[in-house]
Structure 1
């Protein structure tokens, strides 16, 4: 049991075959560390693209919103986790279940850090 983590489950009400996810608008403005699990890489890509569009001209956007999936280079996924751990600007990871497969205590600690 971790008291420093707040888990919120929300089902997206918008049609997920589209490119707009207005149910997620609150995340980009909230500035809280958020991990979004998508059902597929395709869905994760569309969610990521939508959040990047919402972020506008923020110069730190490529650090704030990141993807984590099996099609990324391992170095990109490693960089995503390093940013999450070491950079206060890192805010959102849009991931597939591959992030949770084989999760160890170091990763759990990494993901549980809250601003």
Structure 2
């Protein structure tokens, strides 16, 4: 996949296909500015996982993986399927997720 092209999506838009593998798509209702902030948290948490595993720090790895999970849930990529949630539930998921991620970063 070229870096400037969006990944292929399934016909229902629920999944993206990357190298032949399906992954749950980010909730399209999440405002782009908020989604971008969550992606920054996700990338930071993934870097923390790498640092912790390289340093063999099990506690730091658990904490970093928990941050990855919170970011993925906030984006709608894990947890309850966003297409099965009400608009209010979806908004609450991304607002609470972002607040928790921002608190983690402090």
Q: Same fold (TM over 0.5)?
A: no
State the structure with more CA Rg. Answer: 2
Q: Which has the higher contact order (CA 8 A, sep 6+)?
A: 1
Greater helix share, structure number? 2
| TM-score, structure 2 normalization | 0.29
